[in-house]
Chains A and B, each alone.
Chain A
Amino acid sequence: MTADLVAYAQRLGDDALVLAQRLGEWSSRAPELEEDVALTNIGLDLLGQARALLSYAGEVEGAGRDEDDLAYLREEREFTNCLLVEQPNDDFGATIARQLYFSTYQLELYQALRGSADQTLAAVAAKAAKEVAYHRDHATMWTLRLGDGTEESHARMRDGLERLWPYAGELFEADEVVQRLAAAGTAADPASLRDGWDRHLDATLAEATLARPDGRWLPGTGRRGVHSEHMGYLLAELQYLHRLHPGARW
């Protein structure tokens, strides 16, 4: 049970950390100043979630690892984030597509987790649910504007949605860890998050004059630590300085 809880907290934390890292790349590059502030706000929220969850994972694990040990000293095969969040930013359309898929999922997830049997997860979820409600609204607003804006924005948004669609499936897969925890009332059963996700997605895409992609979902591998080739580069950038000075304080 403890090992499961550690794995679960780490998984949620890794999702948030990797997406925060991707959003950090937008700083000083956003299409407008106001949007730069907005994306960084979202990134900061996610980073806060990551720190809370990874710290908790380290605490429960009881091996003396803190948030930085987990963020900076694990390797590719030890990270359990979903593949969706590690995909590169590409253009703003792809970034918004990724935000739409992921923040809609996160809202369902955290709303469910507010009722977790684990007090810490419930508390993290209560705070995070408010944050990701905002994230989802932001993604929704932009999906509407890009989908129903110009021909070019419609095409780019559509491309982003289609390119990232294969990774959406992993969000709703349940492995044994999550099945056990869900049975114990600690975790949210990913399959139960699907309905709310579908409804919001369908409504948003319809209003945005975008077609819902209909390709197949790839089977998830991130929860087992098998990532895309992007992950190595992401970690190299995130970790190198910390690793270069073992044991140093910053």
Chain B
Amino acid sequence: MDGQASFDAAIATDQRIEPRDWMPEAYRRTLVRQIAQHAHSEIIGMQPEGNWITRAPSLRRKAILMAKVQDEAGHGLYLYSAAETLGVSRDQLMDLLHAGKQKYSSIFNYPAVTWADMGAIGWLVDGAAIMNQVPLCRCSYGPYARAMIRICKEESFHQRQGFEILHTLSRGTEAQHAMAQDAVDRWWWPSLMMFGPPDDQSAHTAQSMAWNIKRHTNDELRQKFVDMCVPQAEVLGLTLPDPDLRWNEATRHWDFGPVDWDELARVIKGDGPANRKRMEHKLRAHAEGAWVREAAAAYAAKRRDREAAA
């Protein structure tokens, strides 16, 4: 059986494609881009939350937040690992991110303005991410699927802790309740945008689904997310900023209002409120760390030379 036939057979029977298997170049390129951008998102995502570590209002919250942000670094690492099985190095992927040639989830271009944003990000942003990620555990590409399984296992506590933060704030003082409501008001619509453009405007969906990379369309996942969040918002005692939210008895789903796709386009293009800050932060950390990375490499080289000479 030639490579293409093997590949097609594997896809047709929902089997895994592994690094040593033949794969269409377009499949490989799509995966490199998707996995890399997923990894970049985890790393950039450390920033809005990492900001609040030093200001967390209790030691327990500080510890939980540190652990969460650390998980995100770990997730980035697992994903870069998976991407590297496709013939690129992490350095190359970083260069592409730094040059603006690869992107990260535009949700992280919004600023984390108050402590309550930690709750909203956990509940909504991680909630949306989980909705996207669970199907990826069955992605056709083995290393990506395995990385996602590992990530999903660790992710469950992230959404719960966000929900818990909001729950406590909502039932706290008036000021705390207002803080929680304000955060939800700002993060709701951007979270819906995390599922990408509407199906009729999404160029990549069809091919990704044919390759068993993507299992559900953007709109399907977005609807699922809304349906999940509405009752949760009620438990939280908070409202969602959508006057058009209405239960549809016929479809058994929650109808929701129009998403501002122009805003999504602007933020993706680089005009989001925190785009510049995210990239500058990343670039600066990378630049300031160069001497450290070089030192470690130099030391290793010296040791090798000494051992060789010995």
| Direct A–B contact in the complex, CB atoms closer than 8 angstroms | yes
Asked whether any CB of chain A lies closer than 8 Å to the CB of B58, the reply is yes
Given contacts A33-B77, A36-B73, A238-B54, contact A149 B66 (CB under 8 A): no
Asked whether any CB of chain B lies closer than 8 Å to the CB of A179, the reply is no
The smallest C-beta distance from A108 to any residue of chain B, in angstroms, reads 26
The smallest C-beta distance from A226 to any residue of chain B, in angstroms, reads 23
Asked whether any CB of chain B lies closer than 8 Å to the CB of A51, the reply is yes
Q: Please measure, in the bound complex, the distance between the C-alpha atom of A41 and the C-alpha atom of B71, giving whole angstroms.
A: 11
The smallest C-beta distance from B93 to any residue of chain A, in angstroms, reads 12
Residues of the A chain whose Cβ atoms lie less than 8 Å from the Cβ of B67:
40, 44
* Of A79-87, A99-107, A239-247, the one touching chain B: A239-247
Residues of the A chain whose Cβ atoms lie less than 8 Å from the Cβ of B76:
33
Q: Taking CB as reference atom, which chain A residue is nearest B58?
A: A250
Given contacts A237-B54, A242-B57, contact A145 B289 (CB under 8 A): no
Q: Taking CB as reference atom, which chain A residue is nearest B48?
A: A28
Residues of the A chain whose Cβ atoms lie less than 8 Å from the Cβ of B61:
250
Residues of the B chain whose Cβ atoms lie less than 8 Å from the Cβ of A34:
77
Given contacts A144-B299, A146-B295, A245-B176, contact A40 B55 (CB under 8 A): no
8 Å CB contacts to B: which residues of A185-201? Answer: none
Q: Which of B55, B62, B77 contacts A37 (CB 8 A)?
A: B77
Q: Taking CB as reference atom, which chain A residue is nearest B301?
A: A149
B70 engages A47 (CB within 8 Å) = no
The smallest C-beta distance from A41 to any residue of chain B, in angstroms, reads 7
Given contacts A27-B50, A250-B61, contact A237 B55 (CB under 8 A): yes
Residues of the B chain whose Cβ atoms lie less than 8 Å from the Cβ of A145:
295-296, 299
Q: How extensive is the interface on chain A, given as a class?
A: 35 or more
A238 engages B73 (CB within 8 Å) = no
Q: Taking each of A31, A153, A249, which has the highest tally of chain B beta carbons within 10 Å of its own beta carbon?
A: A31
A43 engages B66 (CB within 8 Å) = yes
Q: Please measure, in the bound complex, the distance between the C-alpha atom of A250 and the C-alpha atom of B169, giving whole angstroms.
A: 7
The smallest C-beta distance from B24 to any residue of chain A, in angstroms, reads 30
1/0 per position for B40-81, CB-CB distance to A under 8 A? 000100110010011111111111001101100110110010
8 Å CB contacts to A: which residues of B63-115? Answer: 63, 66-67, 69-70, 73-74, 76-77, 80, 115
8 Å CB contacts to B: which residues of A55-84? Answer: 67-68, 71-72
Q: Taking CB as reference atom, which chain A residue is nearest B67?
A: A44
Asked whether any CB of chain B lies closer than 8 Å to the CB of A2, the reply is no
Q: Please measure, in the bound complex, the distance between the C-alpha atom of A250 and the C-alpha atom of B80, giving whole angstroms.
A: 35
A-B contact number at CB 8 A: 141
Q: Which of B55, B62, B291, B293 contacts A156 (CB 8 A)?
A: B291
Residues of the A chain whose Cβ atoms lie less than 8 Å from the Cβ of B60:
51, 250
B53 engages A146 (CB within 8 Å) = no
Residues of the B chain whose Cβ atoms lie less than 8 Å from the Cβ of A237:
54-55
The smallest C-beta distance from A203 to any residue of chain B, in angstroms, reads 17
Q: Taking CB as reference atom, which chain B residue is nearest A51?
A: B59
8 Å CB contacts to B: which residues of A165-216? Answer: none
Residues of the A chain whose Cβ atoms lie less than 8 Å from the Cβ of B62:
24, 47
Query: Which residues of A approach B to under 8 Å, CB–CB?
Result: 17, 21, 24-25, 27-37, 40-41, 43-44, 47-48, 50-51, 54, 67-68, 71-72, 91-92, 144-146, 148-150, 152-153, 156, 237-238, 240-242, 245, 248-250
| 8 pairs, A vs B, C-beta closer than 8 Å | A25-B53, A27-B50, A40-B70, A146-B295, A149-B296, A149-B299, A237-B54, A241-B57
* Known pairs A27-B50, A36-B46, A37-B70 / 9 extra A-B pairs, C-beta < 8 Å: A25-B54, A28-B69, A31-B288, A31-B293, A33-B43, A33-B73, A35-B292, A149-B296, A150-B295
Smallest CB-CB A-B distances: 7 pairs: A31-B289, A149-B295, A153-B295, A31-B292, A27-B50, A28-B46, A40-B70
